[in-house]
Amino acid sequence: MKIIKREILKDKPDFSNLGFGTIFTDYMFMMDYEEGKGWIDPRIEPYGPISLEPSAMVFHYGQETFEGLKAYKADNGDVRMFRVKDNLARLNRSNDRMGMPAIDVDFVFDAIKTLVDLERDWIPTKPETSLYVRPFMFAIDPFLGVRAASQYKLMVILSPVGAYYPEGMNPTKIYVEDEYIRAAVGGTGEAKTGGNYAASIKAFEKARAAGYSQVLWLDGKEKKYVEEVGTSNAFFKIDGRIVTAPLEGTILPGITRNTAIQIMREWGFEVDERRMTIDEVYAAERRGLLEEVFATGTAAVISPIGSLTYKGDTIEINRMKIGSLTKKLYETITGIQYGTIEDPFEWITIF
Ligand SMILES: Cc1ncc(COP(=O)(O)O)c(C=O)c1O
């Protein structure tokens, strides 16, 4: 791999006050795709602005996909990465849906390892901090017609991120969105593509302005089945069983979702991946059977949900307290990620 070094490295930030996604490391990975040639010129170069034609297709028709994953530093200095190939396989499924070419998962995995290894001093070590890894791909042909592009770039940038809950984990208030939709069957909901997020912003801002931390999306056709929460998947513990939305094309197949399902099944829970109406959730609460609700995602790992508000009707879950399953899942998954708990599933790569 070609590595173009910087003359002077950046000063490292205050690692005890990082926030999310505002600081970028010294280097980035980049490679180009040209129809007929395939992927060419993989390189690591100094992080910085790139030059594109104003007519680059991504600006006009949004052919873009991305991923989000993290590298963790263990107490012994090892770098630990979690389920990287699953993220890259998902990038390829997103690419397929958006009419974009596939990447070679093993090659890009090696490139990410090389980049993160080069930047290992940027991985913060305080509890619950990590180095966020953002691979993304976009169409660059200078052309204004609507068709699949023939040239793309794949880039990977890195950002040290702080604890998601600097003041400790607190259950969130969630607004059940009944006006806007995020995705419909046959659409792009299961792809990680910028347009899905652009389409979600208005509802998110509306919920934020009303004092909620996120929206719970309902299905796009009947607006009655629960789907996902912001940028995470939603789980409901009802009378001892776990329910989460099925993978039918409208929700993102979360890596943390799959991780949580495997662990809970291992623990003996019945996990149903099935359609469930918001009315069923409310009915369970009325009968005293709605025990816990939580969201899963790379950013927060496991996030307890304390209340839901649907058409003006608010229900509290577990008296706004973190449930025992939510807490145990958070501790188990983060324990595997940071290396304080054994990894029986072989999800971790160490270097
Ligand atoms: C829409 C959406 N749903 C769910 C998730 C959770 O996925 P993961 O667990 O792979 O981070 C994300 C975050 O990536 C997301 O953007």
Rounded average pLDDT per 10-residue block, the chain, 351 residues: 96 93 97 98 98 98 98 96 98 98 98 98 95 98 97 98 83 97 97 97 97 97 97 98 98 98 98 98 98 97 97 97 98 97 97 96
The reported pLDDT for the residue numbered 165 is 77
Classify residue 199 as exposed, middle or buried by CB count within 10 Å of its CB (0-12, 13-18, 19+). middle
The reported pLDDT for the residue numbered 21 is 95
Ligand 1 environment, Cβ below 6 A? 68, 228, 231-233, 252, 254-257, 296-298
Which atom of ligand 1 approaches the CA of 229 most closely?
3
The backbone torsions φ and ψ at residue 290, rounded to the nearest 5 degrees and listed phi first, read -85, 100
d(CA 89, CA 106): 10
Domains of the chain: 2-163 (3.30.470.10), 172-338 (3.20.10.10)
The reported pLDDT for the residue numbered 146 is 97
The reported pLDDT for the residue numbered 326 is 98
The reported pLDDT for the residue numbered 166 is 72
The reported pLDDT for the residue numbered 243 is 98
d(CA 244, CA 242): 7
Enumerate the H helices of the chain as residue ranges. Answer: 58-61, 84-97, 105-118, 194-209, 255-266, 278-286, 324-338
Residue with tokens 């004092």: 211
Q: In angstroms, what is the span from residue 257 Cα to ligand 1's centroid?
A: 8
d(CA 204, CA 194): 15
Choice from 66, 181, 298 to test ligand 1 binding pocket (greatest atom count within 8 A of CB): 298
The reported pLDDT for the residue numbered 163 is 84
The reported pLDDT for the residue numbered 154 is 98
Choice from 215, 232, 250 to test ligand 1 binding pocket (greatest atom count within 8 A of CB): 232
d(CA 230, CA 223): 16
